[in-house]
A = this chain, B = another copy of it.
């Protein structure tokens, strides 16, 4: 049962979609011990590397809606991983921070995510992996 992909074979979006699903599934599997999704991981990483930034800045950096971020932070707050402090300068803003528990979880998440990233290289071929990472980072 050989099936023809037709013009899909010439569409970058099709292949990007396929590999994206594949990579995310492996990520989710690797991080399942601490129950952190790709989106949650990206939020924790950016807060950890930019303590005190605002929700608008975070949302803009990750390319997600402010409305979406509010609900993600609500979850992370409830899990005790993040907190929103009032910004001294601007009464509208919240200064985002990781709690101690958040820092610990992020450290674990980074270790598991690094393991996931290492998984990818043999599957894709180490050369292709590096090629893709470099090409996409500069894109």
Q: Which residues of A contact B (CB under 8 A)?
A: 1, 3-21, 23-24, 27, 38, 42, 45-46, 48-50, 53, 57, 61, 63, 110, 113-114, 116-117, 120, 124-125, 128-129, 131-133, 135-139
Q: Which of B12, B14, B46, B114 contacts A6 (CB 8 A)?
A: B46
For the complex of A and B, 4 pairs with smallest distance between CB atoms: A6-B49, A15-B136, A4-B49, A13-B23
The answer, among B5, B45, B57, B120, for a CB contact under 8 Å with A12, is B120
Tell me the nearest residue of chain B to A11, going by C-beta.
Answer: B117
The smallest C-beta distance from A8 to any residue of chain B, in angstroms, reads 5
- Could you list 5 further interchain pairs (A-B, Cβ under 8 angstroms) beyond the known A5-B45, A7-B114, A14-B38? A7-B113, A12-B23, A12-B117, A16-B16, A19-B139
Q: How far is the CB of A120 from chain B (nearest CB, A)?
A: 6
30 pairs, A vs B, C-beta closer than 8 Å: A1-B57, A3-B46, A3-B53, A4-B46, A4-B49, A5-B61, A6-B45, A6-B46, A7-B49, A7-B110, A8-B42, A8-B46, A9-B137, A11-B117, A12-B132, A13-B23, A13-B27, A13-B116, A15-B133, A16-B19, A16-B23, A16-B136, A17-B20, A17-B24, A18-B63, A18-B136, A19-B136, A20-B20, A131-B135, A135-B135
